[in-house]
Structure 1
Amino acid sequence: MVRWQPGTSGRLQAAALELFASNGFEQTTAAEIAQSVGLTERTFFRHFSDKREVLFHGQELLVEAFLAGLVEAPGEATPMELVAAALESGAELFPDERRDHSRLRQTVIEQNPALQERERHKMSVLAAALGDALRGRGITEPAATLAAESAATVFGVAFTQWIAPGEQRSISQIEQAVLAELRDLTAARTAART
């Protein structure tokens, strides 16, 4: 068996996703994933702590991309402008050629409650990191937490729309539309009070 080749993690991820989609997450073993690309189970565990992490590997890249948007935003940006900057930066990780992969990944996640919980945890980690960064920029509470949670929610809603069958818009375009809807919703609430 081949012990190491460049791109081993990526090959394992691609193989795992295909096996999860065809055989089911619970029915697929780490050994089967490794064997499908000519590797050993031991090699699999050098790259991933368990088979769940094959689907969530790279979560830190998502957080870093969102945080980069905050760092690059002007100092005088409002909390919602910072949310928009974070979303725009994060969108770079989702070019249109990743849409089919993302659809398949989401299908696997939706079929398994434990994976759904792990996905919620991923979004919680993102919101917490954004909240910390916003507070670091001097945004006070509760605005920092509300803005961070809004960013995660807008991303989640936009992602769901982006992977919907027949959707053609970029994730960035969808995020902008969802963020505008959120702004309209909060503006309508404020106008109703006055």
Structure 2
Amino acid sequence: MARWEPGARDRLVVAAVDLFTEQGYDATTVTEIAERAGVTKSTFFRHFPDKRELLVAGQDALSELLADGIREAPEGSGALACVQAGLERASTMMGPTNRDLGPRIRAAVAASEALQERDALKSVGLAAAMTDALRARGHTDLVAHLAAELGVLAFKRGYAAWADTESDELAPYVVSALEELRSASAALD
């Protein structure tokens, strides 16, 4: 096994998604994932505490990019403009591999209660990062929380739309989703 080859983390994620698609989440073992990725089981555990965490790889980096974009939005920007800046920044970490894995990850999550729970925790974490960044910019707790939740929803909707395309850029899809949500919220009265 080529433990020393670069990209073990990415190979583990792809191997897991492939196996979850082929045989289901519950039927897939860590040993099978490691073997498919061409690494040892101990290498798996150096990268991930368990197999649920494979499908949220990069969450910390994504949260940080969302917060960075919010922090760096132009002075005086409203909460949703800040969230848009965060979404655009976070989109830079997503490439064709992320797009191609999207539909298979959605299917794996839909088929597994454990993955649905982990996906919900990911959403909470992303919203918390955006809420904190918005509060730091002076937005009230309520406005920061609402804008962050809209940001998470826009990211999910935009990502889902993007995964069904051949486009290399996620940003237009998440920005469009945020605009749709902004319009929809205006119609709530």
- TM score, norm. by length of structure 2: 0.89
After TM superposition, give the deviation of residue 178 of structure 1 in Å: 2.0
1:100 corresponding residue in structure 2: 100
Shift of 1:96: 4.2
Over residues 4-33 of structure 1, what are the superposed CA-to-partner deviations in whole Å (9 max), with x where a residue is unaligned? 332222222222221111121111111111
Tell me the equivalent position of 2:171: 172
State the shift of 1:95 in Å. Answer: 3.1
**Does the 8 Å contact 2:162/2:170 carry over to 1?**
yes
SS at match of 1:142: helix
Change (3 A) 1:41 1:67: same
**Post-superposition offset of 1:122:** 0.3
Q: Partner of 1:188 in structure 2? A: 187
Change (3 A) 1:25 1:77: same
Does the 8 Å CA contact 2:102/2:160 hold for their aligned counterparts? Answer: no
Q: Quick check: which has more Rg, 1 or 2?
A: 1
| Structure 1 unaligned spans of 5+ | none
Query: When the two structures are aligned, how many residues end up with a matched partner?
Result: 188
Aligned partners of 2:66 and 2:22: how far apart in 1?
32
Q: Is the 2:162–2:173 Cα contact (8 Å) retained in structure 1?
A: yes
User: Sequence identity, in percent?
Assistant: 39
1:23 aligns with 2:23: yes
- After TM superposition, the runs of 4+ consecutive aligned structure 1 residues lying more than 4 A away are none
Structure-2 separation of matches of 1:147 and 1:61? 20
TM-score by length of 1: 0.87
Match of 1:147 in 2: 147
CA displacement at 1:146 relative to structure 2: 0.9
How many Å separate the matches in 2 of 1:95 and 1:9? 16
Could you list the per-position Cα deviations for residues 134-168 of structure 1 after superposition, in whole angstroms to 9, with x for gaps in the alignment?
A: 1111111311111111111111222222224xx45
1:153 alignment partner AA: L
Question: Higher RCO, 1 or 2 (CA under 8 Å, sep at least 6)?
Answer: 2
- Structure 2 gaps of 5+ residues are none
